[in-house]
Chains A and B, each alone.
Chain A
Amino acid sequence: MEEIAFEYSAVKKISKRSHVGVAGSGDLEILIEPSDDLQARITIRTSVEGLKDVWKSIFDRFFYANNIAAVIEINDFGATPGVISLRLAQAVEVLEI
Chain B
Amino acid sequence: MMVNIPIKDSFIELSARERVNSILDPGTFREVLGPFDRMESPHLSIQGIVPQSDDGVVVGRGLIEGESAVVIAIEGDFQGGGIGEVSGAKIAGALELVLRDHENGVCTRPVMILETGGVRLQEGNYGLLAIAEIGAAIVALRPYTPVVGIIAGMIGCFGGMSICAGLCSHIIMTRQGRLELNGPEVIEQEAGILEFDSSNRQMIWEIAGGEQRYATGFADKLVDDDIKAINSAVIDVFSEGIPTQYRSSSVDRYLSFLSQIDPTKPLNPRMIKEIWENKQEDIKTIGESFHHFKEQQVESKGALSRGRVWIEALSGQSQSIITATSSVICVDSMINNERVRYISVVPSENNRFPRARQGEVGLDEGWAIAYFVQEAIREDKADDRRAIVAIVDVPSQAYGYREELLGINLACAAAADAYASARLAGHPVISLIVGNAISGAFLAHGLQANRLIALDAPDVTVQVMSKESASRITRRSIKEIEETAKKIPATAYDIQSFFQLGALTELVQGINADAPDKKDIQHVLEKVQSLIIEVRSSKRDLSNRLQSAEAGRYRFASIRVRELLAAQWN
- Alpha-carbon distance A22/B53, docked complex (angstroms): 9
- Alpha-carbon distance A75/B77, docked complex (angstroms): 13
Evaluate whether A22 and B50 lie within 8 angstroms (CB atoms) in the complex, with A1-B45, A17-B36, A31-B36 already known. no
Q: Within the complex, what minimum Cβ distance (angstroms) separates B51 from chain A? A: 6
Evaluate whether A19 and B50 lie within 8 angstroms (CB atoms) in the complex, with A24-B78, A27-B77, A45-B45 already known. no
Q: Do B51 and A45 touch across chains, with their CB atoms under 8 A apart? A: yes
Query: Which B residue's beta carbon lies closest to that of A27?
Result: B77
CB-defined contacts of B53 to chain A, threshold 8 Å? 19, 29, 31, 73, 75
CB-defined contacts of B36 to chain A, threshold 8 Å? 17, 19, 31, 33
- Alpha-carbon distance A76/B53, docked complex (angstroms): 12
Evaluate whether A76 and B50 lie within 8 angstroms (CB atoms) in the complex, with A22-B77, A24-B77 already known. yes
- Alpha-carbon distance A73/B45, docked complex (angstroms): 15
Cβ-neighbour of B48 out of A1, A73, A75 (below 8 A):
A1
Q: Do A23 and B78 touch across chains, with their CB atoms under 8 A apart? A: yes
Secondary structure at the B interface, as helix, strand, loop or mixed, is: loop
CB-defined contacts of B49 to chain A, threshold 8 Å? 1, 47
Q: Within the complex, what minimum Cβ distance (angstroms) separates A52 from chain B? A: 15
Q: Within the complex, what minimum Cβ distance (angstroms) separates A3 from chain B? A: 9
- Alpha-carbon distance A66/B53, docked complex (angstroms): 24
- Alpha-carbon distance A23/B51, docked complex (angstroms): 7
Contact with A along B36-62 (1 / 0, CB 8 A): 100000000100111111000000000
Q: List 19 A-B residue pairs with CB atoms under 8 Å apart, sorted by A's residue number.
A: A1-B45, A1-B49, A1-B50, A19-B34, A19-B36, A22-B52, A23-B78, A24-B75, A24-B77, A25-B77, A29-B52, A29-B53, A31-B36, A31-B53, A45-B45, A45-B51, A47-B50, A75-B51, A76-B50
Q: Find residues 493-508 in chain B having any chain A CB closer than 8 Å to their own CB.
A: none
Q: Find residues 21-62 in chain A having any chain B CB closer than 8 Å to their own CB.
A: 22-25, 27, 29, 31, 33, 45-47
CB-defined contacts of A31 to chain B, threshold 8 Å? 35-36, 53
A77 at the binding interface (Cβ < 8 Å): yes
- Chain A, interface size category, equals 10 to 19
Q: Do B15 and A45 touch across chains, with their CB atoms under 8 A apart? A: no
Q: List 14 additional contacts besides A29-B35, A45-B45, A45-B51; criterion CB under 8 Å.
A: A1-B45, A1-B48, A17-B36, A19-B34, A19-B36, A19-B53, A22-B52, A22-B77, A23-B52, A27-B77, A31-B36, A75-B51, A75-B52, A75-B53
Query: Which A residue's beta carbon lies closest to that of B17?
Result: A19
- Alpha-carbon distance A75/B45, docked complex (angstroms): 11
- Alpha-carbon distance A25/B48, docked complex (angstroms): 15
Q: Within the complex, what minimum Cβ distance (angstroms) separates B130 from chain A? A: 20
- Alpha-carbon distance A50/B51, docked complex (angstroms): 19
CB-defined contacts of A29 to chain B, threshold 8 Å? 35, 52-53
Q: Within the complex, what minimum Cβ distance (angstroms) separates A28 from chain B? A: 9
- Alpha-carbon distance A56/B34, docked complex (angstroms): 29
Q: Within the complex, what minimum Cβ distance (angstroms) separates A70 from chain B? A: 13
Q: Within the complex, what minimum Cβ distance (angstroms) separates A86 from chain B? A: 15
- Alpha-carbon distance A25/B80, docked complex (angstroms): 10
Q: Within the complex, what minimum Cβ distance (angstroms) separates A71 from chain B? A: 11
- Alpha-carbon distance A70/B271, docked complex (angstroms): 61
Contact with A along B400-434 (1 / 0, CB 8 A): 00000000000000000000000000000000000
CB-defined contacts of B50 to chain A, threshold 8 Å? 1, 23, 45-47, 75-77
- Alpha-carbon distance A10/B50, docked complex (angstroms): 28
CB-defined contacts of A24 to chain B, threshold 8 Å? 75, 77-78
- Alpha-carbon distance A56/B290, docked complex (angstroms): 69
- Alpha-carbon distance A77/B45, docked complex (angstroms): 13
Q: Within the complex, what minimum Cβ distance (angstroms) separates A55 from chain B? A: 14
- Alpha-carbon distance A1/B15, docked complex (angstroms): 24
**Which interface residue of B50, B53, B77 has the most chain A CB atoms within 10 A?**
B50
